[in-house]
Structure 1
Amino acid sequence: MFKSRVDEVLSRFVAHEADQLLAIDADLGPVAEQVEVAVAHGKRLRAAFCYWGWRAAGQPDSDALVRAAASMELVHAAAVVHDDIIDDSPLRHGRPTAHVALRAALRRRPRATTAARSLAMLVGDLLMSLAGQLFATSGLPAAYLARARPLWAALARELIAGECLELLRTGAEPDTAESLKVIRYKTAKYTVEQPLLIGGALAGAGQRLREGYSCYGLPLGEAFQLRDDLLGLFGDPALTGKTNMDDLRAHRPTTLLAETWRLADEAEREQLRTLLGRRDLGEDGLEAVRAVMSRLKAPDRIEQMIGARVEEATRALDDMDIPAHASRALTGLALSAAVRRH
């Protein structure tokens, strides 16, 4: 099973790196633990898209490619740790986030909360560095790796641009076009398109196939994040592992909120203004926002946007000249990305 292969690569690689930290000083134990925790969970979709970017170009299964693909999950782990710090999210996968968990190591220190956030930031930085290390030492020929190197720079640039855009637009009047731009750069590209393109570059894919990957990957990546927007507010925390209030308390520029705002009248907008961005927002406030969204059928609108993007992605897949097994796998991944409960 592909996921178990990626899990094994990540577990061994990160355990070794954690041991290297501990060899420097035993006091680094809490940091080493968070490095390992960061990669302990995940659907491994980014690794899967990289893998099938390789296979769809006609290349055979390869353990070295699986190692290279697993590096995409370290990029994701780094992004998650940093995102949780920025959003001050308390939970991830039902466990305390890194900056929360690290407070325990500093509980007798002055300014422990600030120091824990700093430690978590460094954990995220290390994970991003480890992503590059795993990719470079995957065992693939140097010439293959060189073909993908420019895409790594683009991936990092676009991911950081998306995160910055979200911060710059948090608290502003919601706008659907702007929110879609944020999710395209913050999530869609590094979740689907860039892993596909990196796998294709490693395989020596031609321009037409690479263009097909983008036509498939961009709308599907947006559908993935639109589903996250819905789950963030209407999902079951027991399944998502996160609280339903994060997006509202942070007043994040989600497309769900933007569509709600677009459909709302002035009285409904005034009600939203009194609730969004409140750090003390409770269950009553959450239910009030949900009620407005449901009354305006904003969740239905997001479902339609998801469906349209999945359809666009699968149409692009139909236009690609790729092996049948790769087409089947990418069709299945499209459903896994967009139709899920966590």
Structure 2
Amino acid sequence: MPAETETGVRDRLTAHRDRFDARFADYFDTVAHQLSPLGSFAPEALALVRDMSLRGGKRLRVALLYEAARLVTSEAVAGLEEAALSVELLQTHGLIHDDIVDDSPVRRGAPSVYYAYRERFADRPQTALGLAVLAGDLAAFLSVRVLLTAPVPGELRQAMAAVQATVGADTVVGQFLDLERDFGPLPDRALLDLVSEYKSARYSVLAPLRLGLLAAGADPAAHEGELARYATLVGIGGQMCDDYLDLFGDADATGRAAGSDLRAGRRSYAVCAVLAAATGPERELVESALADPGCPAGTVEQVRGLAGRHGVDARMRADIRRTAEEAAAIAAGWRPRWRAEAVDFFERLPLWAARRAR
């Protein structure tokens, strides 16, 4: 991808993020005012949700939402800001519950909501767990409520809320699939893709596409097949990139030590590819490291080395590139019916994202 094209995608993402973050902070101020008379636990939960929500993130979902509306019109679109709040609140819900399921102490460079409660209620762990679950639930229900109070006709509000409720349920199913993946026989590629589709692609890509088109007055159902295929490919490609970087990435660039999926026992795309390629003693080495939180860095390096000898890293990079190119080709096919500027964004985005796996 030419450097100017990569810069263009990054600049569009940054512009959407900066605009949205100010609106997100204002939204939390409004909800905090509503909750302030209602004891101390609910306002404290909202403060933790707010802190984690505003602490980081690329706001890719927000960008996809706004660019989906721009496929139809360059004019301001009513209800789009509420839809953006909704997709990010649903993301916050998922992160809070992810950290509970994974027992993760840190999220975006600070204590996770779960661990913030564990510190606050060190002598009452069940209370800490319950409050963390409720904080995640609060984010989920706010995600639907903000759509149901959007300044748009009632029929549109209902349609947008239905999108979010549906993908919220799909994401929970994805969490079940994600946990089940790590039990039983080594999962095949079809199962890995299914986990990526349900746990990520449907709410991170497909829902913003649907919401943006709906708000702009288009009918996403008329293009459901290609929208779903694009979203699934982008979601799979993004997950493969994450899994690749977890095992093969430069720790200085990623900000984390290699092999966290391996140590946690996650049968990621990368871990499954290494297990499938390894033979004899090599497989024993990988399995000895799998689900061992104390697995030393030297063992991870051995796993990385055998993966390189079998060409696992090169094959993953090629697969990520092919997935991105297929998604880009689908988006290019939108050019005859939708605005070229926004189509360009959707065509370039998968290729830009794939460049992380280098």
Provide TM-score, normalisation by structure 2.
0.85
Change in CA separation of 1:161 and 1:14 when aligned onto 2, cut-off 3 Å: same
State the secondary structure of the residue aligned to 1:167: helix
CA deviation after TM superposition for structure 1 residue 318, in Å: 1.5
Indicate whether 1:124 and 2:136 are aligned: yes
Q: For 1:57-68, list aligned pairs within 5 A.
A: 57-58=72-73, 60-62=75-77, 64-68=79-83
- Equivalent residue number for residue 51 of structure 1: 66
How many residue pairs match? The answer is 338
- Equivalent residue number for residue 184 of structure 1: 197
- Equivalent residue number for residue 297 of structure 1: 311
CA deviation after TM superposition for structure 1 residue 28, in Å: 5.0
| Residues 6 and 67, structure 1, Cα contact 8 Å, conserved in 2 | no
Residue deviations 1:204-238 (CA, integer Å, cap 9, x gap): 22544343322322211111111111223344556
State the secondary structure of the residue aligned to 1:39: helix
Determine the C-alpha separation between the residues in 1 that align with 2:78 and 2:355.
29
Residue deviations 1:25-50 (CA, integer Å, cap 9, x gap): 23556423311122111111112212
CA deviation after TM superposition for structure 1 residue 171, in Å: 3.8
Determine the C-alpha separation between the residues in 1 that align with 2:105 and 2:28.
24
What is the RMSD of the two structures over their aligned residues, measured on CA atoms?
Answer: 2.4
Determine the C-alpha separation between the residues in 2 that align with 1:245 and 1:37.
28
Indicate whether 1:329 and 2:345 are aligned: yes
Change in CA separation of 1:302 and 1:165 when aligned onto 2, cut-off 3 Å: same
| Residues 163 and 211, structure 2, Cα contact 8 Å, conserved in 1 | yes
Letter of the 2:63 partner, please give it.
Answer: A
| Residues 188 and 225, structure 1, Cα contact 8 Å, conserved in 2 | no
CA deviation after TM superposition for structure 1 residue 241, in Å: 5.5
| Residues 263 and 295, structure 2, Cα contact 8 Å, conserved in 1 | yes
Determine the C-alpha separation between the residues in 2 that align with 1:242 and 1:133.
36
- Equivalent residue number for residue 285 of structure 1: 299
- Equivalent residue number for residue 220 of structure 1: 234
- Equivalent residue number for residue 152 of structure 2: 140
The structure 1 residue matched to 2:271, chosen from 232, 247, 257, is 257
Determine the C-alpha separation between the residues in 1 that align with 2:234 and 2:67.
15
Range that drifts further, 138-147 or 216-225: 138-147
Determine the C-alpha separation between the residues in 2 that align with 1:237 and 1:29.
37
| Residues 78 and 152, structure 2, Cα contact 8 Å, conserved in 1 | no
Residue deviations 1:138-188 (CA, integer Å, cap 9, x gap): 323222223334322321222111110111121434323222211111112
The structure 1 residue matched to 2:120, chosen from 98, 105, 110, is 105
Change in CA separation of 1:70 and 1:336 when aligned onto 2, cut-off 3 Å: farther
State the secondary structure of the residue aligned to 1:281: coil
Whose relative contact order is higher, 1 or 2, with alpha carbons under 8 Å and at least 6 apart? 1
| Residues 332 and 344, structure 2, Cα contact 8 Å, conserved in 1 | no
| Residues 263 and 291, structure 2, Cα contact 8 Å, conserved in 1 | yes
State the secondary structure of the residue aligned to 2:76: coil
Determine the C-alpha separation between the residues in 2 that align with 1:317 and 1:285.
42
Determine the C-alpha separation between the residues in 1 that align with 2:149 and 2:254.
33
- Equivalent residue number for residue 9 of structure 2: none
CA deviation after TM superposition for structure 1 residue 55, in Å: 2.1
- Equivalent residue number for residue 12 of structure 2: none
Determine the C-alpha separation between the residues in 2 that align with 1:209 and 1:98.
38
Unaligned runs of 5+ in 1: none
Determine the C-alpha separation between the residues in 2 that align with 1:127 and 1:337.
28
Indicate whether 1:167 and 2:159 are aligned: no
Range that drifts further, 39-48 or 63-72: 63-72
Residue deviations 1:42-95 (CA, integer Å, cap 9, x gap): 111112212222221346333631331231111111111111111112222222
Change in CA separation of 1:35 and 1:59 when aligned onto 2, cut-off 3 Å: same
Range that drifts further, 28-37 or 270-279: 28-37
Determine the C-alpha separation between the residues in 1 that align with 2:349 and 2:263.
32
Determine the C-alpha separation between the residues in 2 that align with 1:299 and 1:89.
27
Identity of aligned residues (%): 28
| Residues 78 and 125, structure 1, Cα contact 8 Å, conserved in 2 | yes
Determine the C-alpha separation between the residues in 2 that align with 1:172 and 1:129.
34
CA deviation after TM superposition for structure 1 residue 287, in Å: 2.4
State the secondary structure of the residue aligned to 2:150: coil
Range that drifts further, 328-337 or 195-204: 328-337
CA deviation after TM superposition for structure 1 residue 286, in Å: 2.8
State the secondary structure of the residue aligned to 2:219: coil
Change in CA separation of 1:37 and 1:290 when aligned onto 2, cut-off 3 Å: farther
Range that drifts further, 68-77 or 291-300: 291-300
